[in-house]
Chain A
Amino acid sequence: MFAWFSRRAFSTTNSLCKKQAGRYKPSKHKGKHLTYEQACPPYLIAHWKSWLSWNTGGMLDGVRTAETVMDDMFIRKFMFGTFHRLFLTEVIVKRRHNMIYVGGVIDQSTLPRKIYFLTGYTEELLSYVLKCPVKLELQSVPHRDDVTYRIV
């Protein structure tokens, strides 16, 4: 009787609700490297990990909500395209006052000089496109595996 009842119930627990977004399926040969951010499922946001976009668009009476999302998407695409194969983590976009700070962890496989070139290029171009000062805050690690938190 109880089993029948529980099966028919409206269940909202994580174990029963088959959510897939932001979760990574274990691979067959256990060769998938996840960063800390990827290893934490979305319900841990604000507990174990933090947001990738920081802005006031989601607040009550927040302005430019949709535009901000589109701008962030554009910034991410631009960063992954410009710093080609260099970004090891997701790009974090923070809006403070009238400025946009773009952060992330990159690989040290390129000469520092080239990274400086790309930084100058990105800051200038994104400033023109988004009509506000954009600043890059990059961090680097010697090897790709240094950002691996869990292998699934």
Chain B
Amino acid sequence: MKRILGLGQRCGLPRRRVSQLSTESKSSTAEPEIVIPQRIPRGPTDILRALASTIHKDHTAPHYKFIDDPYLIPVSNPEKRSYALAMESGRKAARYMLTNFPECFKNDPAEPKVELFNPPRAAFQPGAQNSEEDLVRCIDEINVAESLVVYENLKTHGIKISQENLLKLLQMVSFFNETPPDEMLSIESKHLKRKERQPRRNQWKVGGVAEKIFEEIENKDGEAYSALIRGMLKHGNVDRGYKLFEEMLTKNLVPTRHVFNHLIRWVPLLKESHQSRLAFLMELLNRMEECGVRPDLITFNSALSACSRLGHTDRSKIVPELLAEMRFLGIEPSLATYGHILETQCTPKTGPSDALHRVLAEVTQRQWEVRDPDDLFFLVVAMEKVVAYSPDRDLAYQLLDMAELNPHLLFNAYNESLFFQQLFKLLCVTEDFDQLMLVYNRLVPNTYSPEASVVQEILTCMQMQAAHRYLPQLWSDIVLLYHVEREPILKQVLALAASVEVGETEESQKLQQQCAVLAQDMQTRVEAINEERSRVFRMPILLDAEMLSNMLLTYLRADQMAWVSKTLEHLIKNQHLVPGVPSATVLMKLAEKACEKEDKAMALACARYCDEIGHETVVDFIKEKAAENKNFGPDFLTRLERKEAAEDREIE
């Protein structure tokens, strides 16, 4: 037994196998009892769910709407926008062809027919003979413009429309305020459009078609009134809507829940003072109870949103009451509810409160469905509150995790950029730069393209934490993100490149060289842009004296003398394009280097330039060095005395 064991160890065999070789049976002491687990009932999709949970968002891949090819993947925001819109306009072009030349697309082998893949039907023309079915069809298609055309046609031909369909039409027309919802067609434009949180005021078309249809309804019941009032309130005509609401109540008609919801949302506009707002809110809620209308999630969310415009004492009293009522009715809060709680609890007056921590702890760990349109604003609101009242990076990370878990909550480009902007600005202040770059590398450029202000913030953070090693990477991102034309960013980058620590280590030498390459790249890019701009009579990018001296310093450290002389020439020749004068210290360093290299032309140019702008110390230094060094020759000093370069050239 022992011999075999020893053999096993020498051969590197695992112990288990050796024990299998031995004939001796194992002693069975304290054999653990096998416990067969209870059977867990599984649903038919549980395996799929388990598989799906292993898949996470791939940050290295572009969004699904883009073509997955290096040349066609957008990096900057303008690119993302223009590519998405280009694809969309291609689709529109195809639709145009289908609508205008239907005779070319007659082949339809599909069986059964798929409605969506048929060419669009011919539009209903004004003045044509239509039937009521056409109207119903238009309403079913949610085609506002054409349903109005059909409605007019029916009226001119004296065809009577049934009350039921008239009500349907009224509901649709007042919901959309007569304007066709064109954005329903194009997802991209919708994604790129900025969505307003509060509907704009006074958009309702007074005396429009909706009101005419309402007049035409003979039996004006609660539904008809509610449809019209809802439209008015939705499109910001609050006073008229409220007047109609009162008229309705005097006629003993019961308004729908939506009317109450809209009215509650508009409470801050209908009443002026805090007291009357509170009273009115309570009155509406009581009226709801009287009418027997059961409140829903939107009712409570609207009430909470109205509460954010109440006085502090009223608010602290009524918000818990509303939440208790909500729990009593068994309505589960949505994200908008939490958002409104944050808005009422974290205000400049209350200052930092633990509400933020508590709400986020409850909310961030799970997936959410959108049940109220305001749910979509939760992430941005929460991030704003975190930045303003409790700048804590852990909270920001919690929100980021939540955003990754619920990507649908950042529903449009504007919201997305607002969220990430706030995130990065917070991380720049609170986070270690290495950690910040981990987040940056994960999100940029496929999930988020930083705006100029965020890039500036990151550069400032880099300066503060002396993390110059990331400068080359960040510069290449700046180029890809089209921020090269922004002077403040160029200024910061050059300041960083010039402030790289001078060290003897290989790494710092490498960084010096990289910074010099970066400065060269910047200079060539700026020259190209300026040439392009001069062609179209646009203001050139102005590199001021500070930027140019930083550039000089970078070149001097990396020993790039050709580029030093190029920059010096630019400084001397294009003085009208360079605001300010470079500092004496930089020019002194330049003079030192020129004398060390015995570059007569550069020393001469430098001395003359310094003489011109009044840096006497540098001129004296060069004179001194020239007198010491025999290689400069006696004529160097005499040439230095001559002010005019033209004379100099004549002598040569």
Contacts and interface: CB of A to CB of B under 8 A. Distances in A.
A118 interface: yes
Contacts of A124: 90-91, 94-95
A116 B94 contact: no
Interface in A114-139: 114-125, 127-129, 131-132, 136-139
A108 interface: yes
A140 B71 CA distance: 7
A136 B87 CA distance: 12
B119 interface: yes
A112 interface: yes
Contacts of A129: 105, 107
Given A119-B87, A120-B89, A128 B94 contact: yes
Contact of B88 (A120, A128, A131): A120
Interface residues of A, number: 27
A116 B83 contact: yes
Q: Which residue, B69, B88, B93, B110, has most C-beta atoms of chain A within 10 A?
A: B69
A136 B65 CA distance: 11
B601 interface: no
A113 interface: yes
Q: Which residue, B90, B117, B119, has most C-beta atoms of chain A within 10 A?
A: B90
The secondary-structure label for the interface of chain A is helix
B98 A128 contact: yes
A98 B89 CA distance: 25
Interface string A57-101: 000000000010000000000000000000000000000000000
A128 B117 contact: yes
Contacts of B90: 116-124
Contact of B109 (A118, A131, A136, A138): A131
Given A131-B110, A138-B69, A125 B89 contact: no
Contacts of A125: 94, 97-98
Contacts of A117: 86-87, 89-90, 93
B72 A121 contact: no
A152 B93 CA distance: 42
Given A125-B98, A131-B110, A140-B71, A116 B87 contact: yes
Closest 5 CB pairs of A and B: A120-B90, A124-B94, A121-B90, A120-B87, A131-B110
Interface of A: 67, 108, 112-125, 127-129, 131-132, 136-140, 142
24 contacts: A67-B109, A108-B71, A112-B72, A113-B82, A113-B83, A116-B84, A117-B87, A117-B90, A119-B87, A119-B90, A120-B87, A120-B88, A121-B90, A121-B94, A122-B90, A123-B90, A124-B94, A128-B94, A128-B98, A128-B117, A129-B107, A131-B117, A136-B67, A140-B72
